[in-house]
């Protein structure tokens, strides 16, 4: 499967086309909108989340609530577009209008953003041409794509959840999720302001976010995604670009402001001996092959082991600060304090939702690569047969 997205932060809409979905997958706009709403939530979000509510329109590839097997086109309209029609319009400027007279041009790059190097790469003197696309607004439609992937995975008995494990140095107690299923974790975090399973840590996170906002600063954190229900053997060891953990790492780091990724024990493995890292293999007639632990996060040799996948990503603090950092005007070369677009003081809770959907897409794609079916009922049969095969191996 594959997809492309298009659209600018203050353009008329965000668009995606998904190709390769099997037919007969139940799919509705309501299902996708539920996930878009989650992305707009979480403590620390900025003013834009208050001025528009993201909803999707399904334009093709679905009839009467079921996919056809043809490309699925989704659109999310930007409600704020009405205020930007002249600034962001696609039509050429009239001859008597000087491009320099267009409002909201940007010649002052913000540290930590794509502004300066993006302008260099594409030759844009007005850096708005960079920030409009590099903005995290694009993740809206990526969540829509991931919502479709989650619907697909749910039909196959595969479930996924994300939660926040750290914000601003405040770390959730790992015991808050230990032994809990994806469904149990989701029931907890969807009632929490920071999408965190540890209520005491969450309360401290809220205070830290509020303090950062008062100080004109921002804070980052860590999110964790857990996937249950995958059989063993999805992915491959034979080539670097077929390893599932590599694909999941790429998906996580493709999210705006994400700078690190780890699986299972992650970087903690550097401090442990091999006997304290690797998961011993056990077998039972009821379950087949399993592991006595899940320190490697459900992946060995680039393939699933049948244990839950556990992957974490670290998000840097948002670089758009109300306490701005120094930069240089590209026209005058004079130093200045960086300008402020609308911003969040902390987007880690919302980013956890984006991470969940980015990972969901890669898992769904890996399933389709493994089983090669154009119809969902056939795919279910193939998956069931594969699970039986690996159990009896």
Is 335 within any annotated ligand binding site?
no
Is 257 within any annotated ligand binding site?
yes
- List the one residue out of 7, 19, 135 whose CA is nearest residue 68: 19
DSSP type of residue 321: -
78 Rama sector, left if φ>0, alpha if ψ -120 to 50, beta otherwise: beta
- The secondary structure of 198-263, three-state, reads CHHHHHHHHHHHHHHHHCCCCCCEEEEEEEECCCCCCECCCCHHHCHHHHHHHHHHCCCCEEEEEE
Is 256 within any annotated ligand binding site?
yes
- List the one residue out of 225, 220, 224 whose CA is nearest residue 169: 220
Is 292 within any annotated ligand binding site?
no
Q: Is 221 in a helix, a strand, or coil?
A: strand
- Both structure tokens of 391: 């159990």
DSSP type of residue 25: -
Is 135 within any annotated ligand binding site?
yes
Is 320 within any annotated ligand binding site?
yes
Is 133 within any annotated ligand binding site?
yes
Taking the C-alpha atoms of residue 40 and residue 37, their distance in angstroms, rounded to an integer, is 5
| Cα–Cα separations (whole angstroms), residue 96 to 101, 125, 227 | 11, 20, 57
DSSP type of residue 26: B
β-strand partners of 245: none
| Cα–Cα separations (whole angstroms), residue 38 to 33, 196, 198 | 9, 13, 19
- Both structure tokens of 361: 């897409």
Q: Is 302 in a helix, a strand, or coil?
A: coil
Q: Is 18 in a helix, a strand, or coil?
A: strand
Q: How many CA atoms lie within 13 A of 55 on its CB side?
A: 7
Taking the C-alpha atoms of residue 108 and residue 179, their distance in angstroms, rounded to an integer, is 50
Torsion of CA 27, 148, 235, 183, to 10 degrees: -90
Taking the C-alpha atoms of residue 189 and residue 66, their distance in angstroms, rounded to an integer, is 30
Is 318 within any annotated ligand binding site?
yes
- List the one residue out of 195, 129, 205, 213 whose CA is nearest residue 170: 205
Is 90 within any annotated ligand binding site?
no
Annotation: binding site for NADP(+): 39, 45
Annotation: binding site for FMN: 133-135, 256-257, 301, 316-320, 342
Annotation: binding site: 39, 45, 133-135, 256-257, 301, 316-320, 342
């Amino acid at each position: 499967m594959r997809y492309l997205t298009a659209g600018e932060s203050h353009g008329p809409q965000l668009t995606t086309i998904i190709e390769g979905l099997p037919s007969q997958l139940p799919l509705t706009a309501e299902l996708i909108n539920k996930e878009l709403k989650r992305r707009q939530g979480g403590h620390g979000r900025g003013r834009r989340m208050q001025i528009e509510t993201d909803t999707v329109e399904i334009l093709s590839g679905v009839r009467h609530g079921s996919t056809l097997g043809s490309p699925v086109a989704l659109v999310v309209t930007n409600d704020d577009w009405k205020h930007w029609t002249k600034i962001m319009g696609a039509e050429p400027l009239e001859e008597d209008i000087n491009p320099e007279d267009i409002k909201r041009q940007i010649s002052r790059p913000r540290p930590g953003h794509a502004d300066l190097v993006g302008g260099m790469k594409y030759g844009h003197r007005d850096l708005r041409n960079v920030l409009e696309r590099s903005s995290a607004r694009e993740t809206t439609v990526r969540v829509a794509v991931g919502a479709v992937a989650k619907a697909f995975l749910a039909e196959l008995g595969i479930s996924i959840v994300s939660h926040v494990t750290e914000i601003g140095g405040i770390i959730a107690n790992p015991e808050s999720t230990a032994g809990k299923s994806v469904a149990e974790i989701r029931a907890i975090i969807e009632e929490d302001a920071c999408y965190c399973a540890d209520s005491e840590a969450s309360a401290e996170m809220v205070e830290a976010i509020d303090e950062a906002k008062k100080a004109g600063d921002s804070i980052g954190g860590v999110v964790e995604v857990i996937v249950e229900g995958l059989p063993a053997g999805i992915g491959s060891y034979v080539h670097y670009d077929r390893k599932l953990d590599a694909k999941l790492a790429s998906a996580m780091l493709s999210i705006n402001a994400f700078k690190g990724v780890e699986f299972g024990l992650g970087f903690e493995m550097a401090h442990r001996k091999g006997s304290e890292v690797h998961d011993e293999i056990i077998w039972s007639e009821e379950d087949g092959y399993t592991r006595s632990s899940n320190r490697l996060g459900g992946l060995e040799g680039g393939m699933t082991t049948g244990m839950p996948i556990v992957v974490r990503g670290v998000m840097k603090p948002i670089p758009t600060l109300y306490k701005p950092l120094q930069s240089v005007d590209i026209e005058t070369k004079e130093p200045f304090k960086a300008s402020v677009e609308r911003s969040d003081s902390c987007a880690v809770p919302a980013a956890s939702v984006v991470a969940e959907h980015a990972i969901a897409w890669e898992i769904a794609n890996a399933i389709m690569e493994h089983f090669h079916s154009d119809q969902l009922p056939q795919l279910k049969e193939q998956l069931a047969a594969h699970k039986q095969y690996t159990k009896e191996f």
